[in-house]
Amino acid sequence: MGKGDYNISEIYQGGYSSLKPTYGDVFTGYRVAAGSLGLTTDPRQANVLQEVSSKLSTGVKQIEIAAVSPEIFDSMPKQQLKEINRLSKLTGIDISIHAPVIDSTGITQQGFSESNRELSERKVADALIRSHELNPDGNVNVTVHSSEGLPGTEWKTLGKEGEARTAKKMVAINKDSGQMTALEEEKRFSPGRGGEEPLIREELHTPEQNLELTNASDWDNKITQLFFNKERADEILQENQVQIQTLFEETGGKLDPNKLNPSQENAWLKFQDAQNYLQEIHKSANALFSKAYEFGTTEQKEKLKEISKKYGNELGETPTVLRESKAMHNLLLNLQNPEITPTMFVPLEEFATEQSAKTFGNAAFNAYKKFNDHAPILCIENPPVGMGLSTGEDLKNLIEASRKQFVENAIKEKGMKEKEANKLAEKFIGATWDVGHINMLRKQGFESKDIVAETGKIAPLVKHVHLSDNFGFEHTELPMGMGNVPLKEILNKLGKEGFDAKKIIEAGNWWQHFKTPPVKETMEALGSPIYSMEMAPYWNQSMGLQQGYSGGLDGAWLPQVNYETFGGGFSQLPTELGGQRPGAQGSRMGGRPME
């Protein structure tokens, strides 16, 4: 086989080997049956009936309607959804839908609004109700994003399951006003305390520590402002105490401003100034007390009750200005106690989980009330890392909170027992796990093991899987095996081979740039069996047969004449070698006339 300085074996790959089932560099190492793979429709196309019909030609058994844009979703005629249901029965395919990507929290650039959250709830509920047309006799999977447009935490450590995470950069939100503030890890310098300490002390403050400081300083600043106003009222009372006291003695407390002499009128004006200050302070103090009670813990609420009782006793049945000033002073001192300080600023993920759980739990229960056991299944998806509620732990917390909301509704409105309600919540609310989205943890410095660990946190809740590959930095969608998503380890975490969650191929960037369906490339990456017996040969071995996209040089790089000469039998040899083909026609390797 050798000639010159090369060997034929170096340029000819040969066919696949059934003894080498891992053939091909695109193979991820995890086998998935082709029947469990599905395709999405074009998210830009509202004519979904045409889209589903065209996608059927690829042979997939599952098709997901990509209605990620609210405008496109509302452009889909309801008749088409009914017709798709009929088509699915004729062809034996399963249908799922990706509902519009909307904010579920009620948080906008202007802050939090309960009316905005309620609007989001109505939109999710509408998506579930309309999606029912796709499978009225079953349970269609409806994917929704956990968040949209929310800034996410940049993590320093993700922690193992059950361990606390630490942030490098986080966003905190005021639960009352919706005001958001960014908190980063930062160095702080302070003067030394003498002795052996350095002249300048350097301390590293974590975002979590800065969050505590933000809560304390924000509350303290509000109380301090009231103290400042009260001091002004006290100054007026002290400077004019004699005149005010004389005024009340001379009039017996029955004042007629129109009958006061100049001296009395001046004392009366000063008294009015002080009283106005105290009234404003009283309003502000009541507002702070209300916030402390509304957002306080159970222990803090008990202490606030004691403070309120003490304040009432100090005022007495007939409070005077001086008595009111003293009682107000003590009230502010008690509210300034660190043990009373309410937690107003919280991590955005915590607040978003609380609000989104209402949206998803209520919407899912609304669908259940309407359709009972045939209600759609709400599958909450992790958005690309960098957005809020994007990690496995975030998604787990959200789904558990949404199920809890579902259960509370079922007990309250249907009179269900808690065990029955929990079973229904687990059926109708779960997770869609997007392997490409979680791979973007890499841009925060995390590795494959961290990505797999996040999968482990959400694995028991997963009902649906989105397959797309990328390199961890940009939200691109390639067929599996073409980026660095650790798919084998992720799917092993989700369950054993044959894991029955629907696996939908999302490869928008492949469609955009290479203009071909990503099904074959995905089957090669997932080593799907070519035949229905689910045994060798596999699609990852097909590259040795037909030179697939990842199989080597594209096209017939060795001309047909070469194969006829060396592999066609004796009759195909040139006449000068005893065969029947005319000789001296040019280069047999290149197929071109000899120069």
Would you tell me the crossing angle of helices 207-239 and 241-251 to the nearest 10 degrees? 60
Q: Are strands 37-40 and 502-505 parallel, antiparallel or unpaired?
A: parallel
Pick the CATH number of 33-155+363-525 from 3.40.50.2000, 3.90.730.10, 3.20.20.150, 3.40.50.300: 3.20.20.150
Q: pTM for the full model? A: 0.82
What are the backbone dihedrals phi and psi of residue 376, each rounded to the nearest 5 degrees, phi first? Answer: -60, 155
Quick one: pLDDT at residue 377? 98
The ranges assigned to domains in the chain are 33-155+363-525, 166-210, 217-343, 558-595
What are the backbone dihedrals phi and psi of residue 346, each rounded to the nearest 5 degrees, phi first? Answer: -135, 160
Cα distance between residue 147 and residue 385, in whole Å: 11
Question: Please, which contacts does 363-366 make with residues 24 or more away whose CB atoms are closer than 8 Å?
Answer: 363/121, 363/124, 363/125, 363/128, 364/128, 364/402, 364/406, 364/425, 364/428, 364/429, 365/405, 365/406, 365/409, 365/410, 365/413, 366/125, 366/128, 366/129
Quick one: pLDDT at residue 544? 61
Could you read off the pLDDT of 352-399 as tens digits, one per residue?
999 999 999 999 999 999 999 999 999 999 999 999 999 999 999 999
Residue 35 CA: distances (Å) to CA of 55, 60, 63, 523, 530? 14, 7, 11, 10, 11
Which residues, in sequence order, are bridge partners of residue 184? 169
In this structure, are residues 359 and 112 in contact, taking their beta carbons and an 8 Å threshold? Answer: no
Helix, strand or coil, per DSSP, at residue 481? coil
Quick one: pLDDT at residue 269? 73
Cα distance between residue 68 and residue 381, in whole Å: 12
Quick one: pLDDT at residue 549? 46
Residue at token pair 């059926």: 427
Nearest to 62 by CA among 31, 97, 29: 97
Quick one: pLDDT at residue 254? 63
Cα distance between residue 171 and residue 438, in whole Å: 20
Quick one: pLDDT at residue 584? 47
Residue at token pair 């040139």: 574
Question: Tens-of-pLDDT digits for all 595 residues of the chain?
Answer: 455 565 555 444 555 565 678 877 789 999 998 888 999 999 999 999 999 999 988 889 999 999 999 999 999 999 999 999 999 999 999 999 999 999 999 998 788 889 999 999 999 999 999 999 999 999 999 999 999 989 999 999 998 767 889 999 999 999 988 888 999 988 888 787 766 777 788 888 899 999 999 999 999 999 988 888 888 777 777 766 666 666 666 666 566 666 666 776 677 677 777 778 788 888 999 999 999 999 999 999 999 999 999 999 988 877 677 788 888 889 999 999 999 999 999 999 999 999 999 999 999 999 999 999 999 999 999 999 999 999 999 999 999 999 999 999 999 999 999 999 999 999 999 999 999 999 999 999 999 999 999 999 999 999 999 999 999 999 999 999 999 999 999 999 998 544 667 899 999 999 989 988 999 999 999 999 888 777 778 888 876 665 444 444 444 555 555 555 555 554 555 554 445 556 544 444 444 444 4
